[in-house]
Structure 1
Amino acid sequence: MILMDSVLMIFSSLILVICVLAGVAFMVLL
């Protein structure tokens, strides 16, 4: 259970980082 929670937290933080990078790249391209 603890392993599942840590994996889920890492996965959600990774998605957040990807979204931020995509937003920055989008603003730079504009």
Structure 2
Amino acid sequence: MALINTQIKPFAANAFKDGAFITVSADDIKDKW
């Protein structure tokens, strides 16, 4: 299944970064992949 030129579904997830928990969402990775 090709996913080129498609958008991801909105999401939010917890992540551990630099000693703290942060929330990562679809907006955070938009235009970076």
Q: Which structure features the higher share of strand residues?
A: 2
How would you bin the TM-score normalised by the shorter chain?
Answer: under 0.3
Bigger RCO (CA 8 Å, 6+ sep): 2
TM-score, scaled relative to structure 1: 0.16
TM-score, scaled relative to structure 2: 0.16
Q: Which structure features the higher share of helix residues?
A: 1
Bigger radius of gyration among the two:
1
